[in-house]
Structures are given as structure tokens and as C-alpha cells.
Amino acid sequence: MVKYTPNYNLGKPEGTDMYSVLPQNANMDIIDTTLKGLDTKVTDLLADVVWQEAELLNGWESYGEGYEPKFAVDKHNNLIMKGAIKNGVMTRGTVLFILPEDMRPIVYRIFVTSCNNQIHDHYEYRAIELVIEPNGAVALGSSIPYTRFLGLENISIKL
């Protein structure tokens, strides 16, 4: 007996069911249309984004090509960040960079991201805390154990 998914009502036959390929093709069309709609929304959100490169402080530097630390405000007034950094001061409160006045939150914001040691045979990841202060400082909210890679991806706040 075919069961159906809760969100898109896609048919899920049991392993022993005789099943026509036609419903499966219809499922694929639903998935394809839904994903394209999401892709279009994301593309639209980022269409007019102007990325600014972060001016890093306290010994921090870009992780490398393709990982340049950047920030922007999208058309829905969300501050977004991307990139990764390395090799800076590791203590709590260390400022990584400062946001321009028009990109600062009105309240103190806290995020969790990760850092790792970049040892090829023995990667160790740690969750760390980043903060964005109303004065624009993007800083370490906790001391960190590793400085070989600190991710800035997926940090986003409504301004």
C-alpha cells in the first residue's frame, strides 16, 4: 500500500508493492518545481547584494582564495556573512573586524560557528561563540582552541 509524505503528498510505495513509474515521475515533477521555486527565491534575495570585504584585526587573515571574509545587507535588510579566517588572537573578546554604521544591529547578537585545527589525519572541530555588538564589533564570544580555520558562513541577522 502506497504511503504519502506529509509535506508534498509524494507517493512512497512499500518495498514489496507493484508500482507504476508514472506516479514516481509525478513525484519528480513536484520536487523539481518546488526546488526551482526555492532556487529562484534565493537568487532573487541575493541578486542585488553588494559584498564588502572585512578589514581583519588582531592578526586574523583570510583563510585563502574563495574564503575571503565578506559581509553584505540583502534587500530584506538582513546582514549576511561568508568566508573563513585564520591565525589571529584566540582570546574571548578579541575583535575580528568592525561593521560599518549602517550594518550594525541595535542589540548584542550571539552566534555559534566552528573552528578546527586543519591537521589532515586528525581534524578536530570545536563549536565557538561569535558576537556582533551594537558598536559594529564582530568578536570572539568565547576563547577558541584552534586558529587554523574559523568559519563565518551562514551568519545572518535581521537589522
Domain boundaries, the chain: 3-46, 52-158
Using CA atoms, how far apart are residues 159 and 149, in angstroms rounded to an integer?
27
Number of Cβ within 10 Å of residue 116's Cβ equals: 16
Whole-angstrom Cα distance, residue 125 to residue 117?
7
The tens digit of pLDDT for each residue in 136-156 reads 999 999 999 988 999 999 899
CA dihedral 55, 59, 65, 71 (to 10 degrees): -30
Q: Say which residue, 133 or 49, is predicted with more confidence.
A: 133
Give which of 103, 87, 114 is closest to 137, Cα–Cα. Answer: 103
Model confidence over 42-89: pLDDT tens digits?
777 667 789 999 999 999 999 999 999 999 998 889 999 999 999 999
Rounded to two decimals, what is the model's pTM? 0.71
Average pLDDT over residues 23-37: 83
Domain 52-158 has CATH 2.60.40.1830: yes
Q: What pLDDT, on a 0 to 100 scale, did the predictor assign at position 45? A: 67
